[in-house]
Homo-oligomer: A and B are copies of this chain.
Amino acid sequence: MNASQPRRRVRAADVAAAAGVSPTAVSFALNGRDGGNISPETKKRILETAERLGYEPHHVARSLRSRTTHSLGLVTDAVASSPFGGRILAAATERADRNGHIMLVLDLHSHDDREAAAIRELERRQVDALLYASMGFRILTRAPVTQLPVVLVNCTTKRPDELSVYPDDANGATRALDHLADLGHTRLAMLSGHWDPLGPREDQGNVSGPIRRDAFVAAAGRRGVAVEVVEKGWEIDDGYRAAMEVLDRPGGERPTALFAVTDRAAVGALLAAARLGLAVPEDLSIIGFDDQEQMAECTVPPLTTIALPHARMGDEAVAMALAAAAGEEVEDRRRALPCELLVRESTAPPRSATGLSER
């Protein structure tokens, strides 16, 4: 049919010519910018012509003229390469896309010295706003320097006017304790991490560890249950060693439930329990934190855990960035998002509470 498929890109002017109108009319019709100044039928004809010709607006030209690129920059310290970062990124790109924006991604690979250059690059690209995401939850001493609107993701500062979204770890830890206490456990242990396991600089460390620990201990105090805290670290082997320490003792002195600072540590605890011949959850309840992909859901048994609000962080961060870019006043500039409890199969009432000793 279309014998002479046109090689050349079809421009607004081509549509205008084909429809017998001016470029102005085309622009108006396509952008719905008609302040009632373009007749419905003309508009319809223009739209049809554009469709027929396969017209696609030239985004770059549009950006040059309108001084907005409909794009957002995402600078990450290493999020793109962390197992959680993906969830933030996916939700962020999703939300951006729904709003006609696209995400420009720059990964610092933990080289903080590249930060300034990355931000300048994004400024040059005329992004409408910036997201700055960190791998672990951090409290920054200073936000990235730029004239652009910035939203901090998975990190925040002390300044109340700075835009940020981050997980409410304390809320999550409290839910973990309540879950265990509600089940009837009274002798608990927490497999905890260290302060600042990642960075050399004070503001680089992941602060989730102490927050989770302190909130858990505080909540335990409120509920009147005992907690033994063992600080070994976040990883599988750390959890294994910590669990071995509290579990390898006579039944009566052993905690009936463990709260692990991360799902990885919880997997270590699972390993230790298996090694010690303790059945989970019958002999020992274990609850993790993070709802880590491909891990929490498919351990044996599946892990009860506290889910980090990654998707929501990405989503809200973009919403905030867009609002700020549009010059709107943003409410709740610092958003601590709740962490949901996911009850799976690694937690149950303690033996003494059920009164029955199965198997």
Q: A176 within 8 Å of B by Cβ?
A: no
Which residues of chain A from 94 to 111 have a CB within 8 Å of any chain B CB?
A: 94, 97, 102-107, 109
Given that A126-B59, A271-B300 are contacting pairs, would A236 and B64 also be in contact in the complex, using a CB cutoff of 8 Å? no
Which residues of chain A from 217 to 260 have a CB within 8 Å of any chain B CB?
A: 235-238, 240
Interface bits A77-105 vs B (CB < 8 Å: 1, else 0)? 01111110111011001100100001111
Number of copies: 2
Flag if A60 contacts B56 (CB, 8 Å): no
Flag if B81 contacts A105 (CB, 8 Å): no
**Chain A interface mostly:** helix
Q: A129 within 8 Å of B by Cβ?
A: no
Flag if B294 contacts A126 (CB, 8 Å): no
Flag if A271 contacts B274 (CB, 8 Å): yes
Distance of A108 from chain B, by nearest CB (Å): 10
Given that A56-B124, A86-B86, A124-B59 are contacting pairs, would A298 and B264 also be in contact in the complex, using a CB cutoff of 8 Å? yes
Flag if B64 contacts A93 (CB, 8 Å): no
Distance of A279 from chain B, by nearest CB (Å): 10
Interface bits A263-293 vs B (CB < 8 Å: 1, else 0)? 0100110110011000000000000000011
Residues in B whose Cβ lies below 8 Å from that of A83: 83, 86, 293-294
Residues in B whose Cβ lies below 8 Å from that of A112: none
Residues in B whose Cβ lies below 8 Å from that of A236: 295, 298-300
Q: Which residues of A contact B (CB under 8 A)?
A: 56-61, 63-64, 69, 71, 78-83, 85-87, 89-90, 93-94, 97, 102-107, 109, 118, 120-121, 123-126, 235-238, 240, 264, 267-268, 270-271, 274-275, 292-295, 298-300, 302
> Can you list 22 residue pairs at the A/B interface with Cβ under 8 Å?
A58-B124, A59-B124, A59-B125, A59-B126, A79-B86, A81-B87, A82-B86, A85-B86, A89-B105, A89-B107, A93-B106, A102-B106, A104-B105, A236-B295, A237-B299, A238-B298, A264-B294, A264-B298, A267-B267, A271-B271, A292-B294, A295-B295
